[in-house]
Amino acid sequence: MRLRVTTWNVNSIRLREPLLARLVETLRPDVLCLQETKIEDDRFPYDMVRRLGFEHVYAHGQKAYHGVAVLARVPLSEPRSMRWCEIDHARHAIVGLPGGIELHNLYIPAGGDLPDPELNPKFAHKLDMLAELATWHEAHRDDRRHLILLGDLNIAPLPTDVWSHTQLLDVVSHTPVEVAALDRLQRAGGFVDAVRTVIPAEQKLYSWWSYRARDWAASDRGRRLDHVWLSPALAPALAAASVLREARGWPQPSDHVPVSVDLDL
């Protein structure tokens, strides 16, 4: 069985119905993981996503901010959420997928503008959530398990994951302290960066472009903030990975584009 799993920060699900339809036409993902749905669960557009072919849905959202959801053509098991840093943000959905896979859909805090946890509580929250996740994965690691960790991690770890490594070293999303926190989480689960397995680290690769650019494509000042990681036992199933750059040019776009992997199970 081949499973296509896609992650996409939609920046409001209510505004993206036409783009979700276009994504389904373009990629036909079997599992579509969303972040920044910005809607409470009882108002989630279940009918709309069912019309797009996703019969199985787990939404974990809140009003106006954050919110994650998993839409699937295949059955989901044991849907649940996790709460971190004793803050009630909807940032983490977990579901079981066929083949004994456990999927973690994450929306890591963006972290504000100032990269100093003493002065900026949003940056402190970002580092704290990453640290708590790392500790959790260290404690629960079992290399026989099939895990997918994906989502908007709001960090571009490699020099080629940003348009200018030197100019972004003190910009939140690419600071050394964030990259170290993300590395610790990756090592905690032994996770393989699926997209960089397929697309070499020498190649510039972005999944987000600011809305504020006059011409996002011409300036191309992007960052790779969206990731798909696989646990060691699942990594051999990786068959393909891609970033749908063209989606940034679709009408009324999200500032993020979909990132996908194909798994042969």
Partner DNA sequence: ATGGTAGGTATCCTA
Chain residues in the site for DNA (CB under 7 A): 11-12, 14-15, 38, 63-65, 109-112, 122, 154, 210-212, 252
Q: Which two tokens stand for residue 231?
A: 């646990």
The dihedral region occupied by 112, where left means phi > 0, alpha psi between -120 and 50, and beta the remainder, is: left
CB of 13 to DNA, least distance (A): 7
Q: Residue 77 and residue 58: Cα distance in Å, rounded?
A: 10
- From the number of C-beta atoms within 10 Å of its C-beta (0-12, 13-18, 19+), residue 158 rates as middle
Question: For DNA, which is the closer residue by CB, 144 or 212?
Answer: 212
Question: For DNA, which is the closer residue by CB, 62 or 197?
Answer: 62
Question: For DNA, which is the closer residue by CB, 111 or 151?
Answer: 111
Distance of CA 23 to the CA centre of its chain: 16
CB of 197 to DNA, least distance (A): 26
CB of 211 to DNA, least distance (A): 4
Question: For DNA, which is the closer residue by CB, 42 or 211?
Answer: 211
CB of 44 to DNA, least distance (A): 12
CB of 50 to DNA, least distance (A): 20
Q: Which residues of 127-153 are buried (b: 16+ CB within 10 A; e: fewer)?
A: bbbbbebbeebeeeeeeeebbbbbbbb
Question: For DNA, which is the closer residue by CB, 166 or 252?
Answer: 252
Q: Are 72 and 50 in contact (CB under 8 A)?
A: no
